[in-house]
Protein backbone atom coordinates (compact mmCIF):
# COMPACT_ATOMS: atom_id res chain seq x y z
CA UNK A 1 0.00 0.00 0.00
CA UNK A 2 2.82 2.41 0.86
CA UNK A 3 4.32 1.78 -2.56
CA UNK A 4 0.99 2.49 -4.21
CA UNK A 5 0.63 5.76 -2.27
CA UNK A 6 4.24 6.72 -3.05
CA UNK A 7 3.65 6.11 -6.76
CA UNK A 8 0.50 8.22 -6.70
CA UNK A 9 2.38 10.98 -4.85
CA UNK A 10 5.11 10.86 -7.53
CA UNK A 11 2.43 11.17 -10.19
CA UNK A 12 0.94 14.23 -8.47
CA UNK A 13 4.19 15.99 -7.60
CA UNK A 14 6.02 15.26 -10.87
CA UNK A 15 3.54 14.81 -13.66
CA UNK A 16 -0.17 15.37 -13.12
CA UNK A 17 -1.00 17.52 -10.07
CA UNK A 18 -4.34 18.34 -11.69
CA UNK A 19 -5.39 14.71 -11.12
CA UNK A 20 -6.08 15.72 -7.52
CA UNK A 21 -6.88 19.38 -8.13
CA UNK A 22 -3.36 20.43 -7.05
CA UNK A 23 -1.09 23.05 -8.61
CA UNK A 24 2.70 23.09 -8.32
CA UNK A 25 4.24 26.49 -7.68
CA UNK A 26 7.13 27.50 -10.01
CA UNK A 27 9.60 25.67 -7.74
CA UNK A 28 7.47 22.54 -7.62
CA UNK A 29 6.05 23.03 -4.11
CA UNK A 30 2.50 22.18 -3.03
CA UNK A 31 0.93 22.97 0.37
CA UNK A 32 1.35 19.91 2.61
CA UNK A 33 -2.26 20.11 3.81
CA UNK A 34 -3.58 19.94 0.25
CA UNK A 35 -1.46 16.85 -0.45
CA UNK A 36 -2.66 15.11 2.73
CA UNK A 37 -6.27 15.91 1.76
CA UNK A 38 -5.70 14.56 -1.77
CA UNK A 39 -4.17 11.31 -0.48
CA UNK A 40 -6.90 10.93 2.12
CA UNK A 41 -9.64 11.30 -0.47
CA UNK A 42 -8.00 8.64 -2.63
CA UNK A 43 -6.80 6.13 -0.03
CA UNK A 44 -9.17 6.72 2.91
CA UNK A 45 -7.57 7.44 6.27
CA UNK A 46 -4.31 9.27 5.68
CA UNK A 47 -2.80 11.79 8.06
CA UNK A 48 0.00 14.29 8.02
CA UNK A 49 1.99 11.87 10.17
CA UNK A 50 1.46 9.18 7.52
CA UNK A 51 2.87 11.58 4.93
CA UNK A 52 5.87 12.38 7.13
CA UNK A 53 6.54 8.65 7.55
CA UNK A 54 6.23 8.09 3.80
CA UNK A 55 8.68 10.91 3.02
CA UNK A 56 11.19 9.77 5.65
CA UNK A 57 10.91 6.13 4.59
CA UNK A 58 11.13 6.65 0.84
CA UNK A 59 14.01 4.41 -0.31
CA UNK A 60 15.19 7.00 -2.82
CA UNK A 61 14.23 10.07 -0.79
CA UNK A 62 11.93 11.07 -3.62
CA UNK A 63 10.16 13.86 -1.72
CA UNK A 64 11.15 16.76 0.52
CA UNK A 65 9.37 19.18 2.85
CA UNK A 66 10.44 22.79 2.94
CA UNK A 67 11.99 24.13 6.16
CA UNK A 68 8.65 24.94 7.74
CA UNK A 69 7.09 21.65 6.69
CA UNK A 70 4.23 23.59 5.17
CA UNK A 71 5.10 22.60 1.59
CA UNK A 72 6.25 19.41 -0.12
CA UNK A 73 7.78 18.67 -3.52
CA UNK A 74 9.45 15.90 -5.51
CA UNK A 75 13.25 16.05 -5.49
CA UNK A 76 13.55 15.11 -9.18
CA UNK A 77 11.81 13.34 -12.03
CA UNK A 78 9.40 16.07 -13.13
CA UNK A 79 7.76 16.26 -16.50
CA UNK A 80 5.93 19.43 -15.40
CA UNK A 81 8.24 22.40 -15.86
CA UNK A 82 9.61 23.48 -12.46
CA UNK A 83 12.71 25.32 -11.29
CA UNK A 84 14.23 23.28 -8.47
CA UNK A 85 16.81 26.01 -7.88
CA UNK A 86 19.69 23.55 -8.11
CA UNK A 87 23.19 24.93 -8.52
CA UNK A 88 25.34 23.54 -11.31
CA UNK A 89 27.72 20.94 -9.87
CA UNK A 90 30.98 19.37 -11.04
CA UNK A 91 30.22 15.73 -11.87
CA UNK A 92 32.48 12.76 -11.13
CA UNK A 93 34.61 11.45 -14.00
CA UNK A 94 32.06 8.82 -14.94
CA UNK A 95 28.32 8.56 -14.40
CA UNK A 96 26.05 5.64 -15.30
CA UNK A 97 22.70 5.20 -17.00
CA UNK A 98 20.76 1.95 -16.88
CA UNK A 99 18.25 1.22 -19.57
CA UNK A 100 16.68 -1.42 -21.75
CA UNK A 101 18.78 -3.05 -24.45
CA UNK A 102 16.01 -2.42 -26.95
CA UNK A 103 16.68 1.34 -26.70
CA UNK A 104 20.38 0.95 -27.39
CA UNK A 105 20.35 1.48 -31.17
CA UNK A 106 18.40 4.68 -30.85
CA UNK A 107 20.51 5.91 -27.89
CA UNK A 108 23.80 5.30 -29.70
CA UNK A 109 22.42 7.22 -32.66
CA UNK A 110 20.71 10.16 -30.88
CA UNK A 111 22.41 10.13 -27.51
CA UNK A 112 20.42 10.18 -24.27
CA UNK A 113 17.43 12.46 -24.56
CA UNK A 114 15.10 13.52 -21.79
CA UNK A 115 11.79 12.82 -23.61
CA UNK A 116 9.00 13.90 -21.28
CA UNK A 117 11.17 14.53 -18.21
CA UNK A 118 12.95 17.80 -17.52
CA UNK A 119 16.39 16.15 -17.50
CA UNK A 120 18.23 12.98 -18.41
CA UNK A 121 18.78 11.05 -15.14
CA UNK A 122 22.23 9.64 -14.38
CA UNK A 123 23.56 7.64 -11.42
CA UNK A 124 26.79 7.97 -9.48
CA UNK A 125 26.87 4.25 -8.69
CA UNK A 126 26.56 1.43 -11.17
CA UNK A 127 24.32 -0.47 -8.72
CA UNK A 128 21.79 2.36 -8.83
CA UNK A 129 21.87 2.38 -12.63
CA UNK A 130 21.23 -1.38 -12.56
CA UNK A 131 18.17 -0.82 -10.40
CA UNK A 132 16.89 1.89 -12.73
CA UNK A 133 17.40 -0.48 -15.68
CA UNK A 134 15.57 -3.35 -13.96
CA UNK A 135 12.38 -1.26 -13.88
CA UNK A 136 12.13 -2.11 -17.55
CA UNK A 137 11.17 -5.44 -19.07
CA UNK A 138 13.68 -7.53 -20.99
CA UNK A 139 17.44 -7.39 -21.24
CA UNK A 140 19.13 -4.38 -19.69
CA UNK A 141 22.26 -2.44 -20.51
CA UNK A 142 24.42 -0.03 -18.52
CA UNK A 143 25.99 2.96 -20.22
CA UNK A 144 29.02 4.86 -18.99
CA UNK A 145 28.91 8.60 -19.47
CA UNK A 146 32.14 10.59 -19.73
CA UNK A 147 30.63 13.26 -17.49
CA UNK A 148 33.85 15.04 -16.51
CA UNK A 149 34.74 15.42 -20.20
CA UNK A 150 31.24 16.69 -20.92
CA UNK A 151 31.53 19.29 -18.15
CA UNK A 152 34.91 20.37 -19.52
CA UNK A 153 33.19 20.93 -22.85
CA UNK A 154 30.53 23.13 -21.29
CA UNK A 155 27.67 20.73 -20.54
CA UNK A 156 25.94 21.63 -17.29
CA UNK A 157 25.17 19.08 -14.55
CA UNK A 158 22.99 19.29 -11.46
CA UNK A 159 22.69 16.99 -8.48
CA UNK A 160 19.20 16.66 -7.02
CA UNK A 161 18.58 16.74 -3.27
CA UNK A 162 18.40 12.93 -3.35
CA UNK A 163 21.66 12.47 -5.24
CA UNK A 164 20.46 11.90 -8.80
CA UNK A 165 22.65 13.55 -11.45
CA UNK A 166 20.72 15.56 -14.00
CA UNK A 167 21.71 17.01 -17.35
CA UNK A 168 19.96 18.17 -20.47
CA UNK A 169 21.22 15.55 -22.92
CA UNK A 170 24.18 13.25 -23.53
CA UNK A 171 25.47 13.13 -27.11
CA UNK A 172 26.62 9.71 -28.38
CA UNK A 173 30.32 10.68 -28.35
CA UNK A 174 30.27 10.69 -24.53
CA UNK A 175 28.66 7.24 -24.21
CA UNK A 176 30.20 3.81 -23.85
CA UNK A 177 28.60 0.45 -23.14
CA UNK A 178 29.80 -0.97 -19.84
C1 LIG B 1 15.48 6.08 -22.64
C2 LIG B 1 13.09 6.58 -11.65
C3 LIG B 1 15.56 5.71 -26.99
C4 LIG B 1 16.19 6.05 -21.31
C5 LIG B 1 14.46 6.01 -11.91
C6 LIG B 1 15.07 5.58 -20.41
C7 LIG B 1 15.28 7.22 -12.33
C8 LIG B 1 16.06 6.66 -24.97
C9 LIG B 1 13.82 6.14 -21.06
C10 LIG B 1 14.25 8.15 -12.90
C11 LIG B 1 16.84 7.65 -25.60
C12 LIG B 1 13.25 7.30 -20.30
C13 LIG B 1 14.41 8.32 -14.38
C14 LIG B 1 16.94 7.61 -27.00
C15 LIG B 1 16.93 7.99 -23.48
N16 LIG B 1 16.30 6.63 -27.66
N17 LIG B 1 15.41 5.69 -25.66
N18 LIG B 1 17.68 8.51 -27.69
N19 LIG B 1 17.36 8.46 -24.65
N20 LIG B 1 16.14 6.91 -23.66
O21 LIG B 1 11.70 6.89 -16.88
O22 LIG B 1 16.32 7.42 -16.56
O23 LIG B 1 11.72 5.56 -9.03
O24 LIG B 1 12.06 9.04 -18.20
O25 LIG B 1 17.28 5.18 -21.34
O26 LIG B 1 14.97 5.35 -10.79
O27 LIG B 1 14.70 5.44 -16.83
O28 LIG B 1 10.54 7.26 -10.37
O29 LIG B 1 14.02 7.85 -17.32
O30 LIG B 1 15.00 4.17 -20.37
O31 LIG B 1 15.97 7.84 -11.31
O32 LIG B 1 11.95 7.94 -8.43
O33 LIG B 1 14.22 6.61 -22.35
O34 LIG B 1 12.97 7.56 -12.63
O35 LIG B 1 12.99 7.15 -10.40
O36 LIG B 1 12.67 6.79 -19.13
O37 LIG B 1 14.40 7.05 -15.01
P38 LIG B 1 12.53 7.67 -17.84
P39 LIG B 1 14.95 6.86 -16.47
P40 LIG B 1 11.71 6.97 -9.49
Query: Which residue's CA lies nearest to atom 35 of ligand 1?
Result: 77
User: In this structure, what are the phi and psi dihedrals at residue 72, rounded to the nearest 5 degrees?
Assistant: -135, 150
> What is the ipTM metric for this complex?
0.96
Give the single-character DSSP code of 140.
E
Asked if residue 122 lies in contact with residue 178, where contact means CB atoms within 8 angstroms, the answer is no
Say how many Å lie between the CA of residue 45 and the centre of ligand 1: 33
Asked if residue 145 lies in contact with residue 96, where contact means CB atoms within 8 angstroms, the answer is yes
Cβ of 114 closer than 6 Å to ligand 1, yes or no, is: no
CA-to-CA distance for 132 and 100, rounded, in angstroms?
10
Q: What is the DSSP string of 55-124?
A: HHH-TT--EEE-TTSSEEEESS--SS-----PPB-PPPS-EEEEEEGGGHHHHHHH-B--TTSSSEEEBS
pLDDT band (50, 70, 90) for residue 138: very high
Q: Which of 8, 103, 159, 178 to mutate for ligand 1's pocket (most ligand atoms within 8 Å of CB)?
A: 103
Asked if residue 176 lies in contact with residue 128, where contact means CB atoms within 8 angstroms, the answer is no
Whether the predicted model's global pTM rises above the 0.80 cut: yes
pLDDT tens, 62-113? 999 999 999 999 999 999 999 999 999 999 999 999 999 999 999 999 999 9
Amino acid sequence: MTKQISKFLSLLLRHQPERAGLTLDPQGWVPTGAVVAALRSRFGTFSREDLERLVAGSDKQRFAFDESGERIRANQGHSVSVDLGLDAAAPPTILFHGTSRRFLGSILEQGLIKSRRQYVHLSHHVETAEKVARRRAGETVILEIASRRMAAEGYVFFRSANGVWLTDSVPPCFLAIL
